[in-house]
């Protein structure tokens, strides 16, 4: 509520009462504001001491109060504008942080999917390794069986060859014996006498 008092509209006695009433109202409303309370108190004391007799001083006081009101309104407007700007900045920061949070959430979802995919790949790889280990064990068993069979077959072959070699040696000895002239003579003599 602006404190503009026009002293030309009212008689001095009404003006004094109106000014006194407004000054009391101002003093009560400014009790919260310590820095202005002293200023208002001094002005009120000057006004009351002069009993509103000096209209020039009263006008100066009214102008001072009006100037104070304008400064307070300007200050309040600036504070309100600063607060509105701070709210706008805060809201913009909240929007930005929400966007960053959403981006981080998306990144977390992607990374979790990658982790899950990697875990699945690792599990599949471990299963494949187990399967390949089992196949390797089977193949090693088959190879060992084939090696054992080969060793047995080799032993049989070597034994057979050794037997054949003995028989061949015996046959060669027998052939040599048969090819000796004495044996041939003996056979001929036995055949003639029979």
User: 55-94 pLDDT, tens per residue?
Assistant: 776 677 778 778 878 888 898 999 999 999 999 999 999 9
- DSSP-derived 3-state class of residue 100: helix
pLDDT value, residue 185: 84
Question: Residue 24 pLDDT > 50, yes or no?
Answer: yes
**Residue 137, in any domain of the structure:** no
In a domain, 138, yes or no: no
pTM over 0.75: no
Is residue 79 in some structural domain?
A: yes
Could you tell me if residue 104 is inside a domain?
A: no
pLDDT confidence of residue 154: 97
| Domain of 39, in residue numbers | 12-92
Q: Nearest CA to 47 among 23, 63, 71, 12?
A: 23
More confident residue, 121 or 11: 121
Please report whether residue 39 resides in a domain. Answer: yes
Q: Write the CB contacts of 178 (distance below 8 Å, at least 6 apart in sequence).
A: 184
Helices then strands, each counted (H, E), the chain: 4, 0
- What pLDDT is stored for residue 146 in this prediction? 97
pLDDT (0 to 100) of residue 7: 42
Instruction: Judge whether 43 lies within some domain.
Output: yes
Dihedral of the alpha carbons of 146, 149, 150, 154, in degrees to the nearest 10 = 180
**Mean predicted confidence (pLDDT) in 145-155:** 97
Q: Answer yes or no: is 82 within a domain.
A: yes
User: Between 25 and 97, whose confidence is greater?
Assistant: 97
Flag whether 187 is in a domain: no
Number of domains in the chain: 1
Question: Cα–Cα distance between 15 and 7 in angstroms, integer?
Answer: 6
What mean pLDDT do residues 161-169 have?
96
Residue 179 pLDDT level (bands cut at 50, 70, 90): confident
- Name the percent of the chain lying above pLDDT 70: 71
């Amino acid at each position: 509520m602006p404190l503009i008092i026009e002293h030309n509209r009212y008689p001095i006695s009404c003006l004094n009462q109106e000014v006194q009433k407004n000054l009391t109202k101002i003093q009560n409303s400014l009790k919260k504001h310590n820095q202005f309370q002293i200023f208002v108190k001094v002005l009120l004391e000057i006004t009351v001491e002069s009993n509103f007799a000096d209209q020039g001083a009263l006008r100066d006081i009214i102008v001072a109060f009006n100037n104070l009101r304008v400064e307070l309104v300007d200050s309040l407007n600036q504070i309100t504008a600063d607060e509105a700007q701070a709210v706008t900045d805060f809201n913009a920061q909240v929007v930005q942080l929400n966007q960053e949070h959403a981006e981080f959430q998306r990144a977390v979802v992607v990374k979790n999917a990658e982790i899950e995919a990697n875990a699945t790949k690792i599990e599949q790889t471990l299963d494949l390794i187990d399967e390949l280990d089992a196949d390797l064990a089977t193949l090693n068993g088959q190879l060992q069986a084939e090696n054992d069979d080969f060793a047995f077959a080799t032993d049989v072959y070597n034994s057979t060859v050794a037997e054949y070699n003995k028989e061949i040696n015996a046959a060669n000895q027998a052939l040599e014996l048969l090819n000796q002239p004495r044996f041939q003579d003996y056979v001929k003599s036995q055949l003639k006498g029979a």
